[in-house]
Structure formats: structure tokens, C-alpha cells
Amino acid sequence: MTPEPVKSMNRTPLRPVWSSEGEIPEPLYADQLHVLRVGDAFHLTFGQVTVPIGVQPEPGSPTKVRQVARLVIAKEAFHQMADLFQRVKADTTKEG
């Protein structure tokens, strides 16, 4: 899939070329997401639900969420992500 042109913070069209330089951290698993808009940026906090082993929580009971990552994303990039997620959702919904 060819990346779509993006605009930099000064609105100049750019063509992203991904580099493999540097180390990429190990993937993190998250089953919770919290989004907070602050000005023209979105703060995304990813987390994992922590349920003690052998305990069946009551529906609606408070459950601890361990934060595993936080990202701050520019509005334009957030909108691109939202569009991408919608396309992926549509494709995976068709699969069954």
C-alpha cells in the first residue's frame, strides 16, 4: 500500500519514506484506549485490564487498568489514523 501524501505542521505536502534506522521497541499489547483532545493534538493512552487470577469480577465493578503507552498525535495524523481504522474495520467486517 502506497502511503498517502501528508502535510507537515506548516502544511507543506510531504511524501513519507519509512526508515528502518534505529531500534523499534518491542510491541505492546493493549485492550483499553483513552483519548483526550488538547488543542490541536490528541493524547492517546493505551492500557491493559488487570484482573486477579481466580477472581470473577461482578459486572460493572471497577477494574484496574495498567497504562502501557502514551502517545501525543497531531490532529492531521489522528484523522489519517481514524480514516485508516474505518477502512480496516469495513474490510474485516466483510470477512465475517
pTM here?
0.68
Residue type, 73: I
Can you give 15-70 as a three-state secondary structure string? CCCCCCCCCCCCCCCCCEEEEEEECCEEEEEEEEEECCCCCCCCCCCCCEEEEEEE
Closest CA to 81 of 27, 10, 33: 33
- Record the cell numbers describing residue 53, joined without a space: 487470577
Domain boundaries, the chain: 28-95
pLDDT tens, position by position, for the chain (96 residues)?
455 555 555 567 888 887 877 777 889 999 999 999 999 999 999 999 987 788 888 888 888 899 999 999 999 999 999 999 999 998 888 766
